[in-house]
């Protein structure tokens, strides 16, 4: 299959007031030979519409919405798509739900369970030619005021104040680093995995 991948917008996260966050996830468009797929549509309606228009697409042209996890900064726009939805264990069409077999049906895009940030977290493995991209959601993320260090040691040891399970998160990071050439984090810029 001939897949194309485009980061429509880099995610950001910055502390807001005394106890909250102002955040939007990275939004990724994957185009296969048959489908248009949005990963983590985020919370910003005007941004999403404008970016889709750059590809001559509207919400109705999206066939699948992949959600890394259910934090609102990643999934808030999902209801705008009359599409199939898929997460770490199931796919949904309207009011029907079924378990998946670790791929988005009709594609070669593999779903990797990557718990740690949340228990229900998943990442998407996207082959593009001879390269492998991973839409990693919040397995990797940086606040706006943090330096985005991408050497292996820094990636594995980075603290996630919102993680529900640090040991599981480290295993998820190791799994992604074992397959990815490029990683699209939940918040921050896409980066190449050092050899």
Instruction: Indicate the pTM of the whole model.
Output: 0.96
**Can you tell me the distance from the alpha carbon of 149 to that of 142, in angstroms, rounded to the nearest whole number?**
9
Which pairing describes strands 182-187 and 131-141: parallel, antiparallel, or unpaired? parallel
| CB within 8 Å of 40: residues ≥ 6 apart | 11, 25, 26, 27, 28, 66, 67, 68, 74, 75, 135, 137, 186
Q: What is the pLDDT of residue 194?
A: 87
pLDDT at 17: 75
- Kindly state the tokens that stand for 161: 């104040």
Q: Print pLDDT tens along the chain (195 aa).
A: 799 999 999 999 998 877 788 999 999 999 999 999 999 999 988 899 999 999 999 999 999 999 999 999 999 999 999 999 999 999 999 889 999 999 999 999 999 999 999 999 999 999 999 999 999 999 999 999 999 999 999 999 999 989 999 999 999 999 999 999 999 999 999 999 987
* Domains of the chain: residue spans and CATH: 4-192 (3.60.15.10)
According to DSSP, residue 194 is labeled: P
Question: What's the rounded Cα separation, in Å, for the pair 158 and 141?
Answer: 9
């Amino acid at each position: 299959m001939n897949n194309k991948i485009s980061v429509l917008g880099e995610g950001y996260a910055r502390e807001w007031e005394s106890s909250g966050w102002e955040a939007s996830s990275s939004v990724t468009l994957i185009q296969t030979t048959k489908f248009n797929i949005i990963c983590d549509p985020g919370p910003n309606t005007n941004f999403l519409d404008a970016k889709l228009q750059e590809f001559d697409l509207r919400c109705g042209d999206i066939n699948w919405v992949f959600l890394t996890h259910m934090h609102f900064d990643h999934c808030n726009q999902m209801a705008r798509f009359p599409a199939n939805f898929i997460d770490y264990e199931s796919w949904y069409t309207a009011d029907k739900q079924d378990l998946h077999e670790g791929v988005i049906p009709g594609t070669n895009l593999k779903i990797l369970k990557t718990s740690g940030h949340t228990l229900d977290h998943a990442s998407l493995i996207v082959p593009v030619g001879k390269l492998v991209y991973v839409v990693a959601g919040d397995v990797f993320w940086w606040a706006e005021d943090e330096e985005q260090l991408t050497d292996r040691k820094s990636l594995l040891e980075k603290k996630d104040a919102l993680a529900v399970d640090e040991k599981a998160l480290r295993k998820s990071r190791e799994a992604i680093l074992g397959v990815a050439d490029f990683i699209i984090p939940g918040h921050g810029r896409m980066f190449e995995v050092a050899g």
